[in-house]
A and B are shown apart, each in its own frame.
Chain A
Amino acid sequence: MFKLPKNKCIRKTILNVVSVYLTTTILLVLALSYMYLSNQEKHIISLQQEKVDIQSQQIINELELLDDNIVEEVAFYPRLNNIGSAIYDIDKNLIFSTFNEELSSINQKQFFKDNFIYYVYKVEPYYLGAAYLVIQKEKTYEFNNELTKIATIVISIILFLILTSFLLVKILIKPLSDNLNLLDKFIKDTTHELITPTSTILNNIEVLDLNKVDEKNLKKINRIKIGATTISNIHKDLSFLLLNNRQKSENKNLNISDILNQRVEYFKILANNRNIDFKVNIQDNIYTTIDSHRAERLFDNLISNAIKFSTKKGTIFIFLSTSSNHENIKFSIEDEGIGMKNSELDKIFTRYKKLNDNISGFGIGYDIINSIIKEYDIDIKITSSENTGTKVTLIW
């Protein structure tokens, strides 16, 4: 059975191509079927016409016989199997009918009404006063048969088209899909390979006795720590992005004030390196139900973005508090950086979209933020102006 690839982009492309292909071909098949059916309908009617011509003549002959013997008390109107008939006078008033349907007009030689075809014949002389003979015949089962046949063929063609379209798209998209899978595998392997060395570097720096290190070497160790922290952060983001779909959230009632304080502390070394100052206003002991790993990714990405886009010697304002009625939690982070245009704000959540090529990164930060705020139904508001800074506010 055909399985859609896991990659969202490929899946979307396949579905788009298939839907366009199927819509156009199905419309074409339906148009052809309609044309064929109309043609068949005409053919069936003409075939029926020949039979009905004979039957109408039979009725007219019987009417003639009745008219010759009209002195009898009762004239029994001729009735034929499988058809209904009616006679009308010259002013088109009904004289007698064997069917119940009322006809408002008999001006056409042939017409459809409900499930019947009506054939109108002129009668002369006017036997029993009849100037018109109307024959009623069911739309026949030949036509229904034809309809069933066409419906079966159309459904089969549509099923065949669905199947072939998916196979075709799969064949066409295979090279692209293979390359993307390869890239995915490469990123996964690289990410995995980064865990051990990064952790080793960071752990060893932590246990170093910095009192015994001279100032020159302390600066070097600091740079190593900054580099390792950056790699660790990238590693965590990539892991989250790659494993997000497979890892189930372990939600717990967590003290996010503590988590945010820890994350601010973690990023201080990066901020200090660029002479960026943190102005922090975090209310103590704010609790909410969230997965600790996801809370960490959310704050890390917002803080690291603020650092990346800040100008040197700038200030980053971080604020966390509950609303006066304790129903909502409000978090905001504001930088004094390069800011963004309004047009750029619309594209901010697109994965791999880098708004500024001069700043390092993969363009995945806001994609991660977006997936987390969606999961926890958190409202986000981003205000930004060029060369002034950006403020991101979260409310949940």
Chain B
Amino acid sequence: MVKLFSILLISVHLFANPYETNCMYCHKDKKELQLFMAQYTLKYSSEKKTKKALLRFLKNPTSNKSITTYGYIVKHGFKEKSKLNDKDLRDAIDSYYDKYNIKQFIK
């Protein structure tokens, strides 16, 4: 029984989306995520440039690369470098973009 449960747990972990398993643990507020996406879109415009900027920031976050305000950083602290490999990081960014890109809200 324990064996079966362990296999199930490992499989869930293996096939889980890196966005859900890694990002959503801290970023639970949907509106906050939507706001970040709006900030990225306002600054970088296209999907390609937004994803590129996100990847660059997540791999090595600095205040220069951040799109949040100084007050937000003071309040929530600065994000650590992501420990995910490039592929997982890209998959996580793709999922985040699919879910919150501005284009889908325009009617």
Contact = CB atoms under 8 A, between A and B. Distances in A.
Interface of A: 66-67, 70-77, 89-91, 93, 95-96, 125-131
B34 A93 contact: no
B60 interface: no
Nearest to B103: A95
A129 B103 contact: yes
Contacts of A73: 105
Contacts of A74: 105, 107
Interface of B: 31, 34-35, 38, 41-49, 102-103, 105-107
Given A126-B44, A126-B45, 4 more contacts: A70-B35, A91-B45, A128-B102, A131-B46
What are the nearest 9 A-B pairs in CB distance?
A90-B45, A126-B45, A89-B46, A91-B46, A70-B38, A129-B41, A89-B45, A96-B106, A131-B45
B33 to A, nearest CB: 10
Contacts of A76: 107
Nearest to A124: B45
A66 B106 CA distance: 9
| Chain A facing B: main interface SS | loop
Contact of A93 (B41, B43, B46, B106): B46
A129 B107 contact: no
Given A76-B107, A77-B107, A96-B103, A91 B48 contact: yes
B106 A95 contact: yes
Contacts of A90: 44-46, 49
A77 B106 contact: yes
B35 A125 contact: no
